[in-house]
Structure 1
Amino acid sequence: MSAPALPLPRLVLPALALVAALFVVAVPAVSEVIFEERFEDGWEDRWVRSDWKRSEGLAGNWLHTAGKWSGDEADKGIQTSPDARFFAISAKFPEEFSNKGKTLVLQYSVKHEQKIECGGGYVKLMSGYVNQRKFSGDTPYSIMFGPDVCGTQTKKLHAIIQYKGQNYPIKKTVPCETDQLSHVYTFIIRPDASYSILVDNREKESGSLYTDWDILPPRKLRDTKAKKPDDWDEREYIPDPEDEKPADWDSVPSEIPDPKSKKPDDWDEDDDGEWYPSMIPNPNYKGPWRPKKIKNPNFKGKWKTPWIDNPEFEDDPDIYVFAPLQYFGIELWQVKAGSLFDNILVTDDPEYARQVAEETTLKNKDAELESFEEAEKKREAEEEREARTAREEGERRRHGRDRRRRSRDYDRRIRSKSDRRREEIKSKYSRKYDDDDDEEDDDDDDDYFMDHDEL
């Protein structure tokens, strides 16, 4: 028979309660996944293709594919096709999401297989009701984020935020990737109005919604009426007032006669004047005397216009809050199609987003690079084969033209020779003079008749 359990001492019970409370506090909050799409089977049931530009024949298609090269052929996304089209597709969240008091993380991957020259690869989060069949470039959005490339000038990440019905782009220029491989783009907005932009889980930019967007007037302004005080001393160093110039300082000349200089043997002072040796710099000369410099005890630094409170600034602690988010959309115009989107995530947990990026796109990064390089080798070999075929065909055509030209030249030579022969025969035999001319016919020596038997 086991011994009965003894009651715990009274001092132990509060201690256990405290440990339990500390344990509860230490447990992290469960992350919330608002929307996640990896484009596995059944993805089309969750997405709506827009009819935007379809009546004009300019609506593009979305291909379910892993692309021409990938790190995992089973990991498929959706890809724009064909060229010179408008693309619009959207999905509705299972439930609308309010980011008030929460961190908002928007993340996805995109691969520009077409070596994009002018087109976007950005996405949108939208609030309120959206007619997904009419989703277009005119549909209001809360956030637009992602790469945009056009020519040599535009190669940046958009980060546009809607605030009270107006769109505000980030003031900083954040460069985007422009190669033909997959990259993960992440936009994090926190309740303290701070933000981070990551590419492949590496932070590329960070700051505050207050300073990096012109959403609100600045908190502080330079006081344009302020003037530098008359007694403001900006001199960091000043001459030492106790330093005195040595008495013999000025007695040292800057130049001295060159000891190697000698009067020429043929120097005639009557004709050449008095001879003087050439001068050289004096090694003992120290230059003009200047007192030593010492730290200025009254130095106040370089004067700057002071900051003052901006009377037009009115703080909004909810500057980071959006109307409840309800849709994820991709809306683009692309001159050259081929952008492949995958691994879309909207959550409130940056750590979960980081893990998703590592477990999906970034896990296959090396394998995708190998696949791309192999595809490039095949493409280059095919281009070389086509170029060689074109050169050979060009040679055949050139030889054919040469043969035809030689044949034409030969025919012309034969015809020319025949024509000359005909003219010679005609010249030789076409005239026959009358040898029986009588004396009365002396003026008719030039008469002739055609001897047809000899022609």
Structure 2
Amino acid sequence: MKTFIVLSVLVCLALADPTVYFKEEFGEGWSDRWVNSKHRSDQGKFELSAGKFYGDAEKDKGIRTSEDARFYGISASFDKFSNEGKTLVIQFSVKHEQNIDCGGGYVKVFPSDLKQEDMHGETPYAIMFGPDICGPGTKKVHVIFNYKGKNLLTKKDIRCKDDVFTHVYTLIVKPDNTYEVKIDNEKVESGELEADWDFLPPKKIKDPNAKKPEDWDDREKIDDTDDKKPEDWDKPEHIPDPDAKKPDDWDDEMDGEWEPPQIDNPEYKGEWKPKQIDNPNYKGQWIHPEIDNPDYTADDKLYKYDDIGAIGFDLWQVKSGTIFDNVLITDDVAHAEEFAKETWGASKDGEKKMKDAQDEEERKKQEEEDKKRKEEEDAKKEDEDEDDGDDKEESPKSEDHDEL
């Protein structure tokens, strides 16, 4: 009976609906749910688009950056919640179909008091997550947590995708103070919050009262005092070239006293140093002893935010064309994974197929243009050759006429 009850509870838990705090697929009425920032007068505009290639013309529509060299700011609010004691999952898709050279592709999660029309780069946020690309040197996934007023960057280098296709980015923050980052439903990084961010000062510090003993000898090798420099060791590094001859036209009064050029001395042995022997007094490298850091206080709720109530895209792009879609905030990892499969997973093959077809069409078009240009160049060259031939045929007639 007990086994039956336990199994029943487990089944009920498995069938329980996930909590979805926010979900946006940018369908009908999306612009009523999102607020554009008015912090800057030259703010870039988002437009609804599936882009130039896609798997589904309607389902793959998202908000697209439409103007080059612009700051972008747009946000949506939802009922505030706390992730205390729960898993927090933040997920969205990014498509840099313009082959972005420099620009952000991340989201920011804000507290509920966000002033949406004034959102800008200095607006406090709880979490910033997603890809950032700028030149060949910056191709990373940002995972930034705000902790007690400070924005903390991850110590790890998490590489982002840098092609032109749609990719899904997922951040999972668990109540045991661990995390996971996934791209396209595949784990790319994970670990402990305390280890991979500077939430807290170090547990141990070097003992400020400890000092290396004055008689501590950490020289592994020492000079051999019995080793003596040979008497014939010291030779000059350079000597006059014995084969050099004074030029016949050298004038001592005009050119000064002639000196032969210098050459490397084959007998030069360099600076003499005594050979090294093991140091009998060697004690090894001195290690500074550590003590508990009095400024360290453990925190088992590094993951926790009391107020999460808005999400936004606040970024800069040099070349526009990025499409954001399928934004999800939930407490269920499996639900987020399934949502990614239903959206990105269902479209990715069609998207690539359409892009490949466009590339093939462009290749053929370029081949035709190159062929046409070559034919025109060849024809022009033939005309020039014929003109040169005509000129050569006419020249003897002119000479005959002059003789007459």
TM-score (norm 1): 0.63
Shift of 1:314: 0.9
Q: Determine the structure 2 residue equivalent to 1:232.
A: none
State which of 78, 101, 108 in structure 2 corresponds to 1:117.
101
Classify 1:51/1:32 alpha carbon distance in 2 versus 1 (closer, same or farther; 3 Å).
Answer: same
Q: Tell me: higher relative CO, structure 1 or 2? Use CA pairs within 8 A at least 6 residues apart.
A: 2
Q: Which amino acid aligns with 1:180?
A: V
Distance between the aligned counterparts of 2:139 and 2:165, measured in 1?
16
State which of 4, 29, 33 in structure 1 corresponds to 2:20.
33
Q: Which amino acid aligns with 1:133?
A: E
Q: Tell me if 1:167 matches 2:159.
A: no
Gaps of 5+ in 1: 1-14, 229-301, 422-455
**Aligned partner of residue 361 in structure 1, secondary structure:** helix
Q: Which amino acid aligns with 1:34?
A: Y
Shift of 1:311: 2.0
Contact 1:210 1:218 in 2 (8 A): no
Gaps of 5+ in 2: 214-284
TM-score (norm 2): 0.71
Distance between the aligned counterparts of 1:205 and 1:371, measured in 2?
31
Q: Determine the structure 2 residue equivalent to 1:210.
A: 194
Contact 1:124 1:142 in 2 (8 A): yes
State which of 296, 315, 324 in structure 2 corresponds to 1:341.
324
State which of 36, 45, 70 in structure 2 corresponds to 1:61.
45
Q: Determine the structure 1 residue equivalent to 2:134.
A: 150
Distance between the aligned counterparts of 2:25 and 2:130, measured in 1?
18
Q: Determine the structure 2 residue equivalent to 1:48.
A: 35
Classify 1:375/1:306 alpha carbon distance in 2 versus 1 (closer, same or farther; 3 Å).
Answer: farther
Q: Determine the structure 2 residue equivalent to 1:358.
A: 341
- Deviation string, structure 1 residues 118-148 (Cα, Å, up to 9, x no partner): 1111111111322222222222211111111
Q: Determine the structure 2 residue equivalent to 1:264.
A: none
Q: Which amino acid aligns with 1:358?
A: K
Contact 2:168 2:344 in 1 (8 A): yes
Classify 1:313/1:359 alpha carbon distance in 2 versus 1 (closer, same or farther; 3 Å).
Answer: same
Shift of 1:86: 1.7
Q: Determine the structure 2 residue equivalent to 1:84.
A: 69
Q: Tell me if 1:327 matches 2:310.
A: yes
Distance between the aligned counterparts of 2:11 and 2:206, measured in 1?
45
Distance between the aligned counterparts of 1:158 and 1:175, measured in 2?
9
Q: Determine the structure 2 residue equivalent to 1:104.
A: 88
Distance between the aligned counterparts of 2:159 and 2:184, measured in 1?
13
Distance between the aligned counterparts of 2:356 and 2:346, measured in 1?
18
Distance between the aligned counterparts of 2:185 and 2:287, measured in 1?
39
Q: Determine the structure 1 residue equivalent to 2:264.
A: none
- Deviation string, structure 1 residues 354-410 (Cα, Å, up to 9, x no partner): 11111110232222221111121223334445555666777899999x79x99xx99
Classify 1:395/1:202 alpha carbon distance in 2 versus 1 (closer, same or farther; 3 Å).
Answer: same
Q: Which has the larger radius of gyration?
A: 1
Shift of 1:52: 3.8
Shift of 1:77: 1.2
Aligned-pair identity (%): 44
Q: Which amino acid aligns with 1:135?
A: M
- Deviation string, structure 1 residues 299-321 (Cα, Å, up to 9, x no partner): xxx99777643222111222111
- The count of aligned residue pairs is 328
**Aligned partner of residue 316 in structure 1, secondary structure:** coil
Q: Which amino acid aligns with 2:346?
A: K
Q: Which amino acid aligns with 2:159?
A: P
Distance between the aligned counterparts of 1:161 and 1:121, measured in 2?
17
Contact 2:90 2:328 in 1 (8 A): yes
Q: Determine the structure 1 residue equivalent to 2:238.
A: none
1:216-227 aligned at under 5 Å gives the runs 216-221=200-205, 225=210
Contact 1:128 1:323 in 2 (8 A): no
Q: Determine the structure 2 residue equivalent to 1:265.
A: none
Contact 1:211 1:218 in 2 (8 A): no
Q: Tell me if 1:132 matches 2:116.
A: yes
Q: Determine the structure 2 residue equivalent to 1:177.
A: 161
